[in-house]
Amino acid sequence: MFRLSLHSPSACSLLVAALLTATHANARPHARRHFEPTDLELETPGTTELDLELGIVRSRGPWRVVAPDFSLDLGVSDWLELDVDGAYAIEGANDEPFSFDHSAPDPLWTSVKLGLFDAVDEELQQTYAVGAQLGPRLPIWGAGHGVGAEALLLGGVDFGATRLALNVGGFVDPALTRGGRRPIGVQSGVDWERDLDARGRYSLGAELASVVFTSREPAQLQASFGPSYAPSRWLSLSLTALLGFTQGSDRYGLLVGVAPRLPCWR
């Protein structure tokens, strides 16, 4: 049997109290780093997940210490999630790659993730879903000027133990310098995850992402892969390796992740 269900907004009042502000005197303008595809999983209403990744990445020039790459997700309803994504790093100079003399933050992406519809094939035990994620990109660390925007169309297939998500979208980032041009591009990616045991505690994931700029920046093509372990439903640990294939991508890197999930209300 094949069942299709549509999600529509319900009357409710939303209270969002999340304001992250910070400045750094030594922040420098930098090119946009890799695009990380997202899945279609929406947090349970009243639950928040903080996904933190720490590690070291080798760009085409200097090394960069990621401290951290983060994502904060808050479930509001069955079809709506509020997200905050950003990254803060310490980077070396091109001629002194291990000096780590300046910060290299990403703009902060504040967005809404929407579940638009899902279809369930009960005979094959498969689920198909479509969603969207969009919102402004804010240069809150002082390494940019103006407000940007990013939007993604999300498609996903759940085969039970295997989940596959496709991302397609575009962005306009804050200008790197005052009055300067803005990085603009089209991005796409695939997110794959496979459970390795019946309880879903052990899993393996991989991503392939590309960014093609309409501005002057070189194109990016980057892959990431690694295992994860969930000792409980409230905590997940991961190890992720990065590998870049084009001039605009980072060369390689290794990140350690921790993702606690906490209830905010019932």
Cβ atoms 73, 46 nearer than 8 A: no
Question: Taken in order 150, 132, 193, 52, is the CA torsion positive or negative?
Answer: positive
Specify the long-range contacts of residues 40-44, CB closer than 8 Å, at least 24 apart: 40/115, 40/129, 40/131, 40/154, 40/155, 40/156, 40/165, 42/75, 42/78, 42/79, 42/80, 42/81, 42/113, 42/115, 42/131, 43/73, 43/74, 43/75, 43/81, 43/261, 44/75
Domains of the chain listed by start with CATH number: 30-263 (2.40.230.20)
Instruction: Kindly report, residue by residue over 26-74, the tens digit of the pLDDT.
Output: 445 455 557 899 998 999 999 999 999 999 999 888 888 998 899 999 9
Residue 24, pLDDT above cutoff 70? no
Residue 94, pLDDT above cutoff 80? no
- The pLDDT confidence band at residue 9, using thresholds 50, 70 and 90, is very low
Measured at the CA of 114, the angle between CA 113 and CA 120, to 5 degrees, comes to: 125
- The pLDDT confidence band at residue 266, using thresholds 50, 70 and 90, is low
Instruction: Kindly report, residue by residue over 226-237, the tens digit of the pLDDT.
Output: 999 999 999 999
Residue 18's pLDDT is 39
Share the mean pLDDT of the chain. 85
- At 164, which helix (H) or strand (E)? strand 162-172
Q: How far apart are CA 54 and CA 69, in angstroms?
A: 7
Question: Taken in order 23, 26, 30, 35, is the CA torsion positive or negative?
Answer: negative
Cβ atoms 189, 204 nearer than 8 A: no
Q: When comparing pLDDT for 133 and 139, which is higher?
A: 133
Residue 176's pLDDT is 79
